[in-house]
Amino acid sequence: MSDTNEQESIILDALERFLVTEVEPFVHDLEAKDEYPHAIVEKMKEMGLFGCIISEEYGGLGLSTTTYAKIVARITHSWMSLSGIMNSHLIMASAVQRHGTDAQKEKYLPRFATGELRGGVGLTEPDCGTDLQAIRTTAKLEGGHYVVNGSKTWITNSLHGNCLALLVKTDPNADPQHRGMSLFIAEKDEGFIVTRKLEKLGYRGIDTCELLFQDYKVSADCLVGGVEGRGLQQILSGLELGRINVAARGVGVAKAALDLAVAYSQVRKTFGKPICDHQAVQLMLAEMAVRAESGRLLTEAAAAAYDRGERCDMEAGMAKYASTEAAASNAIDCMRVHGAYGYSKEYDVERLYRDAPLLIIGEGTNELQRIIIAKQLVERNPA
């Protein structure tokens, strides 16, 4: 076994023990109450999970994206919300690690790795999501700091976190618009206002909020890379990682639904035999297994391409599309296998059914993924 494989095995084994003993017994109550898992997050900090893909040079674990995707899939198998607490944070960290100045890396990455500073990305606004060039939040340079005004919505880790990679317009009149967009490392301070926590169908327990920036001051030293006008490219490079993460979440949900369905089908009996002996159920289980495995393989392929430093927007899009659709389809088929029990809040099936739709929408809708895939197919295969 190579050193890399041995490290991965040790980490995944430790993660398995943590999830079985410290997470799974509490998920049902925390999710039902929409209660933030403070104690679990503290243990995640101790395990170094907030530094998964941060370089060892800065105190992180320095794991490959391939290993990280496996971690996300396993966490999601237990509770999808925990993976979101990590993902947005690591997109922020990745943006600084890839594009920050040396001083920014030395100041922030060690604090990101320990979870001392923990947060996410401030992109979406009330009037824009997929079209990030339409953001309206502005930052105006005044002396040694920028003054930020505007609003953001659907921002993960913004209530209990304390830092964001914040996308703004430093030149609202730029043409094309992306040349006027910049990214800041924005720690909570006066003028950084959480206006409300959003109530959600699923993905509960994690804080998703609306934000208002009202004359919020951020030091010029916190402009990622130190140069205005590069923010969109800086954050888009991290969204490949985000899509691989969401793909891995899809793998976790799809596999969880499959596992529940397979187990239940062996103990539930109708007409004198377990329902797994009925052909209609067998066909359903087979479809669920193929979906889950297809998503897993595409996700691992996308993660491997990302690790090699290759352009992988098509691969990440394919993985995200396949695995999240698998999660949604498997969740509803799992409910069908369980019958009325699947519709009951006493079982985990209905939680998977509520969590899965977010994956189809988040990190770029699956409609957008198909467009990206098609455009890349044509670009890479000219006639």
Q: How far apart are the first and last CA of the chain?
A: 44
Cβ burial, residue 174 (10 Å; 0-12/13-18/19+): middle
Assess contact for 217 and 145: CB atoms under 8 A: yes
116 classed as catalytic: no
Q: Which residues pair with 216 in a beta bridge?
A: 148
What CA–CA distance (Å, rounded) separates 212 from 232?
21
The residue whose two tokens read 């030293």 is: 221
Choose, from 315, 363, 367, 379, the residue flagged as catalytic: 363
DSSP per-residue letters across 78-132: H-HHHHHHHHHHHHHHHHHHHHS-HHHHHHHHHHHHHTSS-EEEE--BTTBSS-G
Going by C-alpha positions, the residue among 168, 141, 155 that lies closest to residue 230 is: 168
Just list the catalytic residues: 363
